[in-house]
């Protein structure tokens, strides 16, 4: 009897938790994630400023551009890893349809990682008067990026199936890591694909990157997987 009561209590608690998440609107999710985006982009600008400072003593601009390109690829691939893990994990909190989880876990990270790390920084650089080049890793370097996508999905399934308590913690804590990595990928994409002299427009770059990171990460982590899992939202 105790076990039944305990299970019933857990079920009700889980139902209340899920209902709380169901009632979150897109506006509320954006407001919740905005501080993470601001802090993450600020940290990214600090890192880029330090790298730019140390590059002043070196006249080989091509070497630093290559270095920025390497950093972009590393953070972009890691962004795909975190995004696919978070998408699958969130989806499985509201649905047990594993096939659908795989479909959403592939399509959502691909779309939103490209949007956040590449398209929006590219468009932002163009708006700010820079001549930007477009480079999509899922087209040009799919052999390198696809393993991160696959492993990220598997990680999401493992966390959901075997580490349910840790999975809940991860689903919250990973938001900041996800947004931080995305902001670094976006920032290094800008400076390695045309926005070399970014310091005179630092304020505008800051705003562009917040927008580039906030909406795609929120949609990828929370809104899209909840929607396709059948969670009701306002």
31 in Cβ contact with 174 (< 8 Å): no
pLDDT band at 166 (very low <50, low <70, confident <90, very high): low
- Taking every pair of C-alpha atoms in the chain, what is the biggest distance, in angstroms? 76
Its pTM stands at 0.81
pLDDT band at 178 (very low <50, low <70, confident <90, very high): confident
**Separation of alpha carbons 82 and 127, rounded Å:** 29
Which comes out higher in pLDDT, residue 221 or 64? 221
Residue 26 reports pLDDT greater than 50: yes
Domain positions in the chain are 2-228
Count the Cβ atoms, other than its own, within 10 Å of residue 50: 10
**Separation of alpha carbons 184 and 146, rounded Å:** 20
* DSSP letter assigned to residue 200: G
Distances (CA, A) of 100 to 20, 107, 153, 162, 234: 23, 11, 12, 19, 23
Which comes out higher in pLDDT, residue 50 or 4? 50
Which comes out higher in pLDDT, residue 16 or 174? 174
Tens digits of residue pLDDT in 77-102: 999 999 999 899 889 988 989 999 99
**Separation of alpha carbons 212 and 145, rounded Å:** 20
């Amino acid at each position: 009897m105790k076990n039944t009561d305990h299970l019933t209590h857990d079920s009700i608690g889980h139902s209340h938790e899920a209902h709380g998440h169901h009632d979150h609107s897109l506006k509320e999710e954006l407001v919740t994630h905005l501080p993470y985006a601001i802090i993450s982009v600020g940290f990214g600008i600090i890192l880029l400023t330090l790298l730019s400072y140390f590059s002043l003593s070196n006249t080989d601009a091509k070497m630093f551009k290559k270095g920025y390109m390497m950093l972009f690829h590393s953070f972009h691939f890691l962004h795909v890893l975190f995004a696919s893990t978070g998408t699958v994990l969130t989806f499985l909190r509201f649905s047990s349809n594993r096939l659908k989880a795989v479909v959403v876990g592939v399509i959502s990270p691909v779309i939103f990682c490209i949007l956040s790390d590449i398209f929006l920084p590219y468009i932002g650089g163009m708006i700010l008067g820079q001549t930007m080049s477009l480079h999509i890793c899922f087209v040009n370097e799919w052999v390198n990026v696809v393993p991160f996508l696959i492993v990220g999905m598997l990680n999401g399934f493992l966390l959901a199936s075997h580490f349910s308590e840790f999975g809940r913690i991860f689903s919250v804590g990973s938001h900041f890591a996800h947004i931080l990595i995305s902001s670094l990928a976006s920032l290094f994409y800008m400076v390695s694909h045309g926005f070399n002299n970014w310091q005179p427009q630092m304020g505008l770059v800051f705003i562009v990157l917040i927008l580039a990171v906030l909406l795609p990460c929120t949609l990828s982590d929370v809104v899209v997987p909840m929607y396709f899992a059948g969670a009701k939202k306002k």
